[in-house]
């Protein structure tokens, strides 16, 4: 079953959007595999956003993501990587559709509430970066077939 890594960024936590965001993935039908509330070290932040290391916004991105606690999660389900990106919405909240998390709650690219892995390879790498194998909980909801 496909898995993705999601993180509610410091702005999402400060704005008390944790419950609202988790509810959206639960009611969509995805299954929670791992969750932790944590401060992010600069080392972890830099590894996570390594692909953006040469970009002009890299330093402010690292400052922001380490500025307060985040909710790190792994979610599972058919097509969860692309579907989560759809539920999250476009990077710049001014371009994200109403109904998406960023479209409903954000106005600023640098404060866009939540991260979601963008492809199978990055999902695999990000899950391994943020979680130990034993922190991933293997379970299945009782009702199968129409909910994951």
Binding site for ligand RTP (CB under 6 A): 52, 57, 61, 91, 109-110, 112, 115-116, 118
115 as an active site residue: the answer is yes
125 is in an annotated binding site: no
2, 81 Cβ separation under 8 angstroms? yes
111 is in an annotated binding site: no
Q: Which is nearer to ligand RTP, 121 or 140 (CB)?
A: 121
Check 115, 116, 123, 127 and give the catalytic one: 115
Shortest distance (Å) from residue 116 CB to ligand RTP: 5
- Alpha helices by DSSP H, the chain: 10-14, 18-28, 42-48, 58-65, 80-88, 101-105, 120-130
72, 36 Cβ separation under 8 angstroms? yes
Tokens describing residue 90: 């476009």
Q: Which is nearer to ligand RTP, 33 or 123 (CB)?
A: 123
Contacts of 50 (CB under 8 A, 6+ apart): none
Tokens describing residue 42: 């600069």
Backbone angles phi, psi at 19, to 5 degrees: -60, -45
Shortest distance (Å) from residue 139 CB to ligand RTP: 26
User: Pairing relation of β-strands 114-116 and 70-76?
Assistant: unpaired
91 is in an annotated binding site: yes
Shortest distance (Å) from residue 49 CB to ligand RTP: 6
5 is in an annotated binding site: no
Q: Which is nearer to ligand RTP, 94 or 147 (CB)?
A: 94
**Would you list which residues are annotated within the binding site for ATP?**
9, 57, 85, 91, 102, 112
- Residues catalogued as catalytic: 115
**Would you list which residues are annotated within the binding site?**
9, 57, 85, 91, 102, 112
């Amino acid at each position: 079953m496909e898995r993705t890594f999601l993180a509610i960024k410091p702005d999402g936590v400060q704005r008390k959007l944790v419950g609202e965001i988790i509810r959206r993935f639960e009611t969509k039908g995805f299954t929670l595999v791992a969750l932790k509330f944590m401060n992010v070290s600069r080392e972890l932040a830099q590894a996570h956003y390594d692909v953006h290391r040469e970009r002009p916004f890299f330093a402010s991105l690292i400052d922001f993501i380490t500025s307060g606690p985040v909710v790190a999660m792994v979610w599972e389900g058919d097509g969860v990587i692309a579907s989560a990106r759809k539920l999250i919405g476009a990077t710049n909240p001014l371009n994200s559709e109403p109904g998406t998390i960023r479209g409903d709650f954000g106005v600023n690219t640098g404060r866009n509430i939540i991260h979601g892995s963008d492809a199978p390879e990055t999902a695999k790498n990000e899950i391994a970066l943020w979680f130990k194998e034993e922190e991933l909980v293997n379970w299945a909801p009782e009702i199968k077939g129409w909910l994951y």
